[in-house]
Structure 1
């Protein structure tokens, strides 16, 4: 599958192909929902999505490198090196680190604004020192770099049927909605890393503070105040999903099944959290495999319909022309 994707994208250089393949493996290993949705894209677009994910994952792993006992100073130094490699890679269109090499190629191929990567790295740096967010406005500043810009990076790859500037706020909102969902799902794991992403003003409005969260995590006991605060956080995420939803129809038809599938599956995580009694401090909410399969099959059916419609609209294309245009459908 990797070879077919790289061939479809016109990536022929062996070193560059290896860099993209590395990013694809990172996506497959760590981004189950993301990777599943990406498979619904045309083969020509997938390598770029893998590159964007692979770089983001690499940076995130540096920040959260606690399993190998890396000190904060070591993590900061590693992130600094990656940022330097990124800046050089974006200037030259290549890089020494595989994730940077693939990202630089993708950024040049799709003319992605380099500020989106600068903003992303700023949020990664903040994760090394910031462990709390007083208000949602404070959290929004962080999420712009850590989530909104991911949607903006992807937009040129996915393509739009409206001016890109019109679709951009919805793409940014979708990135934020996904991240808010992750914050809810991973609140216990983040607490173990010393971070609380849920805004303190939201928590305190329901009588919750870090100490109560720590008590619940350590004792595996629930508390109505925590459940109430988590419901409020889920309601906040729901509002962002509603803001993102109109953007789905602004994407090119070939990209809609992929993004719609990711939208549904991430949104389902919120429903699973509620169904599990908001017990995220004690266990991770997971969308059942059968549900994931049903949603993916629905996405595959929509992909087939888009491709069939494309053939019907262009019945007179010679065989070689149709083959060359596969990446545009």
Structure 2
């Protein structure tokens, strides 16, 4: 039987386009995976908005479509869409919080702006709002609605998004876009001309190192909460281990985001996830 038949359309989309999160979903009991695949397929749809529209107004229209679609799920009249067809029953079955979906959509509106964040705190806020709510929804699918696990989820989500943004610098550079904070860019001596010509340089590496340090700090803060996090929450938080792997590769490459080492996933990431799940350690 083809993989797509086993996973369903949403699962196949997440497997192809968000493979790291797909791997973490596999540690959730099988009956709940369809809900997670729908959740992360929703994220793919809103996250790609900037890349699929030709002007900001069209992006705003697309995000408003998703905002309305989420609202209609909670009004018990969901519209037809391959993602919504599975997301709507997931919302009902697991009583997923509407505010988390709305936070993600609102955060994605910032992608339509060309100005980089002013300071690191602004970048961390964007990272927290794009990835944190997804992990909180993941926890809700597992039946965990509050407590230290949710606090850890926001910190891990922030770290995960920061790492992803650093690895995506070459992709954004081709579009003349920059997510590095302006204050770090100035202090580190990032040369935008070189960056947009896809050329590594020491200023860029210094800037990336600062953001990577911030990501590592958020992971450390999340792990300081371990005593209050139930073991049942660990599958939702395993992306912390993946973030560690990418941070190690960044350090080995001296924070050169153009290095193949940085762009390739860690070869033993699946084994590391298994180890984390068995030990109950994110």
TM-score normalised by structure 2 residue count: 0.86
Q: Tell me if the contact between 2:128 and 2:161 (Cα under 8 Å) persists in the aligned partners.
A: no
Aligned to 1:315: none
Matched pairs, number? 278
1:250-289 paired onto structure 2 within 5 Å: 250-256=228-234, 258-259=235-236, 261-281=238-258, 283=260, 284-289=262-267
Asked which structure has the greater CA Rg, the reply is 1
What is the CA distance between 1:251 and its match in structure 2? 4.7
Superposed CA offset, 1:150-201 (max 9, x none): 22222212344xx713332211111111001101111121222333222111
Aligned to 2:74: 90
What is the CA distance between 1:111 and its match in structure 2? 1.5
Structure 1 residues 26 and 72 mapped into 2: Cα distance closer, same or farther (>3 Å)?
same
Structure 1 residues 146 and 2 mapped into 2: Cα distance closer, same or farther (>3 Å)?
farther
Aligned to 2:39: 52
Structure 1 residues 140 and 276 mapped into 2: Cα distance closer, same or farther (>3 Å)?
closer
Aligned to 1:35: 22
Aligned to 1:200: 182
Aligned to 2:154: 172
Secondary structure at 1:133's aligned position in 2? coil
Q: How big is the alpha-carbon RMSD for the aligned residues of Structure 1 and Structure 2? A: 2.8
Q: 1:229 aligns with which of 177, 182, 207?
A: 207
Superposed CA offset, 1:238-289 (max 9, x none): 1111112245564543452x34542212211011111122221465532332
Provide the C-alpha distance between the structure 2 equivalents of 1:278 and 1:293, rounded to a whole number of angstroms: 23
Q: Tell me if the contact between 1:76 and 1:125 (Cα under 8 Å) persists in the aligned partners.
A: yes
Provide the C-alpha distance between the structure 1 equivalents of 2:73 and 2:237, rounded to a whole number of angstroms: 32
Unaligned runs of 5+ in 1: 7-19, 304-329
Q: Tell me if the contact between 2:245 and 2:269 (Cα under 8 Å) persists in the aligned partners.
A: no
Q: Tell me if the contact between 1:265 and 1:292 (Cα under 8 Å) persists in the aligned partners.
A: yes
Unaligned runs of 5+ in 2: none
